[in-house]
Structure 1
Amino acid sequence: MDVLGDSDDLILSQALESFENFDELDEKDVEFGNFTFDVDEFLKELEKQDNIKTEQYDVRTDPPERFGKPVNSTEIKELHKSQESTNTRRNTSWGVKVFDDWRKSRNANSGLEMQLPDLLSCSSQDLDHILSCFVIECRRADGSPYPPKTLYQLCAAISRFMRDNEIDLNFLDGKDMRFRNFRKTLDARMKQLATEGIGVTIRQADPISPEMENALWEGGHLGMKTSVALTNTIFFYNCKLFGLRGLDEHRSLVTEQFKLDKISDKMFITFYGRTSKNFAGGLNQRNLTAKEVKHDCGPDGPRNLFHVYQTYIDMVGPGSMYRRPLAGEGLKYSKQVMGVNKLGKIIKDMCSGAGFHGNFSNHSGKRTCATNLFQSGIEEQLVMSRTGHRSTAVRNYKRPSQEQLSAVSMALNPPKLGSEENECAAEFEANNSKLPKLMVDPMRTPMINITNCNVHIFDAGNK
């Protein structure tokens, strides 16, 4: 193959970019190995398809902005740090601080020969023993033990700290036999804590039920009567419609990520996601794409969200999504971006103002999204398309309704006698009608796979 010139390099880069964007390209059709690549034939074919323009120019006389300015080591490290999750960085600092506090406390009560070195000075043998002691002895500031999952997170934070300092001692790797004793100790300690009932009850954000949501509208906490209510509405439905998380995804939102369309008599809001917890866009996610959700706003009416979003976006203009609402009558917003503290408790303040009792936080919005879809019988894959989950973690966000729970209970209760039987059957039918319908093929026996248990479902007419 001939050596390519600079102009050929530009043309080919455009061509290959166009080639990568072909919808019909499938990885199974691509083979790697020794092959002959005819540049001229390739470019002629692309010109026929009018996919690229192949203007010739002299790269020596054209603008030199093709490449970025030279960077140094400091700038490279700053780039790494800028793309690291704030929560991850905070958790790492927290884990290392807990370890250092424990080490200092232990050293203060030990002789010189028993002094523990700092993390970066430990050998693998020392680290195996020291961490085993740490997971058994470490406590919260009030003296109570850490829950099992928190204990693991502490160890993960220490592991990240070691890796960030270019020390390759991954003591959580099950294949590394140097830390076998530590992993056995951590496993035993976590089981011991669970046996004692520590950390077995997880406090989660409560979803907002349809009845609560209606009360928020009727009470003026949602809607367009005031600037605060309009901000509440935008924030809540950004969570409910598009599955945005508690705070981090909201902070970086801009109005340009929302597109409003009217097609015939239908109204749509399209959300174009960027980076998030589930999509960072790095090396390991190069084959994934950012979330894109097109929401049908349904029939026109006083609560149609198309008009709500249109009014809000027109008010705040381009740029940051959340601006500080101004008090008083009418819809008025400051140019100032809403502060993190205020943004972090929008749903909590809204629910508190409405008199709701429960654990309501910004995370309630995303939990409401998953719960409403689950209770409506929507397939899990479609639920995940809204929430952005790529694994079964979405199941942690679903909450069954009371009717669904009652139907399960009725199915498991002992059989009734006499007059109770008819009453029980009627109640079961009433509750069962609230459950998502399972399509049953009369020609075969469907089966639900549950861990260690296969449940067969028989159609009543085809036993």
Structure 2
Amino acid sequence: MFSMNVWRAWANSRNFKQETLLEKYKTVPVVLDATTKEELSFWMCRFVNEARRKDGSKYPPNTIYNIVTGIQRHLRDECKRPEINFFSLNEYIFASFRATLDAVMKERTAEGMGVVKHTENLTVDEETELWGKGVINKLTPKGLSYGGFFYNCKVFGLRGLSEHKQLQAEQFVMSKQEGRQHSGRVYCSSTLYNSCFEEQEVMQRSGHRSTAVRTYKRPSEEKLKEISNALQPPLPQTQSCDKEYTCPTPVKMRATSVNQTSFASTSQGVNGSNVLKIDLPPCIDTVIISKDGKDITLSI
């Protein structure tokens, strides 16, 4: 068993080190049949911190966790010790070991070990480039093969070689209309998201059964521009009256200057008469209208 091989290799190596003689327990048990819980908890804390691969590198967090569960399975099945459960909260003896294991896993995760990197999404420009360079084409067997693989990913959300192998001709319906593995599903999902389809519809087409499909959301350039534009500061406003601005009273405005103001407009009135509409700021209380040499004063 892999887990016990890792344990034995570490235990034998540790027993040759002088520092082991200075520990609470002087030797690391290679065989665990009769090891006490206290001694096992003590050495398991050292083990998860010190165990290394053959090249000297650390085990990723998930791997070290699986090794620990493998050792527990060995104790239960091979050593006939079902009473030992590292992960039971009722086992207070292993509390320090659980804390140590948790700290080691968090530390290695923070170091980037075992972190899955999401596949980069294909863009529309890259898809066009595949056609432009002839990687995908309708003239050669290889081009058709690449095209079939790519569009099975994009249209049906397939991922991995196994899902392509499971396809059957009966699953396709022919009509008159006419890569990368994991990124095909990413491209499928992000294209549907950017087309404003609901999450449930995206999950149905891509084959996801959980909200993990959300990790495939990739904003398009247009979406990013819309987001950027939405965060822009407001456009400068035209000057208006406020507490710090005192309008002269009265204000005299001639009809000849109507088109030069931002608050006046003309329209066609009843019986074809011309109407001048003036939108006054709040600070105006008197208006003088001048026409044909005559002034008419209006108090608002």
Residues 107-186 of structure 1 mapped to structure 2, 5 A cutoff: 107-109=15-17, 110=20, 113-117=26-30, 125-139=38-52, 143=56, 145=58, 150-159=60-69, 162-163=72-73, 167=77, 171-172=86-87, 179-186=94-101
Alignment match, 2:183: 364
SS of match in other structure, 2:171: strand
Alignment match, 1:238: 152
Shift of 1:151: 0.8
SS of match in other structure, 1:114: coil
Does structure 2 conserve the Cα–Cα contact (< 8 Å) formed by 1:120 and 1:162?
Answer: no
Query: For 1:259, which of 161, 171, 186 is the aligned residue?
Result: 171
**Alignment deviations for residues 365-411 of structure 1 (CA, whole Å, 9 cap, x no partner):** 22212221222222111221233222221122222223323433444
Alignment match, 2:161: 247
Compared with structure 1, are the counterparts of its residues 235 and 410 closer, same or farther at alpha carbon in structure 2 (3 Å cutoff)? same
Structure 2, unaligned runs of 5 or more: 238-300
Compared with structure 1, are the counterparts of its residues 165 and 189 closer, same or farther at alpha carbon in structure 2 (3 Å cutoff)? closer
For residues 387 and 119 of structure 1, what CA distance do their matches in structure 2 show?
A: 48
Counterpart of 2:45, as a letter, is S
Query: For 2:137, which of 223, 244, 247 is the aligned residue?
Result: 223
Shift of 1:155: 0.8
SS of match in other structure, 1:389: coil
For residues 97 and 226 of structure 1, what CA distance do their matches in structure 2 show?
A: 52
RMSD: 3.8
Matched, 1:381 2:295: no
**Alignment deviations for residues 90-130 of structure 1 (CA, whole Å, 9 cap, x no partner):** xx95x666555544443443469422425788665555444
Between the two structures, name the one with larger relative contact order (CA 8 Å, sep ≥ 6): 1
The count of corresponding residues between Structure 1 and Structure 2 is 227
TM-score normalised by structure 1 residue count: 0.40
SS of match in other structure, 1:204: coil
For residues 134 and 382 of structure 1, what CA distance do their matches in structure 2 show?
A: 48
Alignment match, 1:187: 102
Compared with structure 1, are the counterparts of its residues 242 and 254 closer, same or farther at alpha carbon in structure 2 (3 Å cutoff)? closer
Counterpart of 2:129, as a letter, is A
**Alignment deviations for residues 46-75 of structure 1 (CA, whole Å, 9 cap, x no partner):** xxxxxxxxxxxxxxxxxxxxxxxxxxxxxx
For residues 185 and 67 of structure 2, what CA distance do their matches in structure 1 show?
A: 27
For residues 138 and 411 of structure 1, what CA distance do their matches in structure 2 show?
A: 52
Pick the structure with greater CA Rg. 2
Does structure 2 conserve the Cα–Cα contact (< 8 Å) formed by 1:384 and 1:394?
Answer: yes
For residues 99 and 237 of structure 1, what CA distance do their matches in structure 2 show?
A: 48
Does structure 1 conserve the Cα–Cα contact (< 8 Å) formed by 2:135 and 2:146?
Answer: yes
**Alignment deviations for residues 241-281 of structure 1 (CA, whole Å, 9 cap, x no partner):** 3322223434x52535x42335xxxx3xxxxxxxxxxxxxx
For residues 199 and 128 of structure 2, what CA distance do their matches in structure 1 show?
A: 26
Query: For 2:123, which of 201, 205, 209 is the aligned residue?
Result: 209
Does structure 2 conserve the Cα–Cα contact (< 8 Å) formed by 1:373 and 1:383?
Answer: yes
Compared with structure 1, are the counterparts of its residues 129 and 113 closer, same or farther at alpha carbon in structure 2 (3 Å cutoff)? closer
Does structure 1 conserve the Cα–Cα contact (< 8 Å) formed by 2:8 and 2:30?
Answer: no
Compared with structure 1, are the counterparts of its residues 113 and 362 closer, same or farther at alpha carbon in structure 2 (3 Å cutoff)? same
Counterpart of 2:186, as a letter, is R
Matched, 1:395 2:214: yes
Shift of 1:225: 2.2
For residues 72 and 88 of structure 2, what CA distance do their matches in structure 1 show?
A: 14
SS of match in other structure, 1:221: coil
Compared with structure 1, are the counterparts of its residues 136 and 158 closer, same or farther at alpha carbon in structure 2 (3 Å cutoff)? closer
Does structure 1 conserve the Cα–Cα contact (< 8 Å) formed by 2:61 and 2:104?
Answer: no
Counterpart of 1:386, as a letter, is R
Does structure 1 conserve the Cα–Cα contact (< 8 Å) formed by 2:189 and 2:217?
Answer: yes
Residues 191-340 of structure 1 mapped to structure 2, 5 A cutoff: 191-193=106-108, 198-199=112-113, 203-250=117-164, 252-253=165-166, 255=168, 258-261=170-173, 267=175, 300-301=176-177, 304=178
**Alignment deviations for residues 139-168 of structure 1 (CA, whole Å, 9 cap, x no partner):** 56665555xxx3134313542575488645
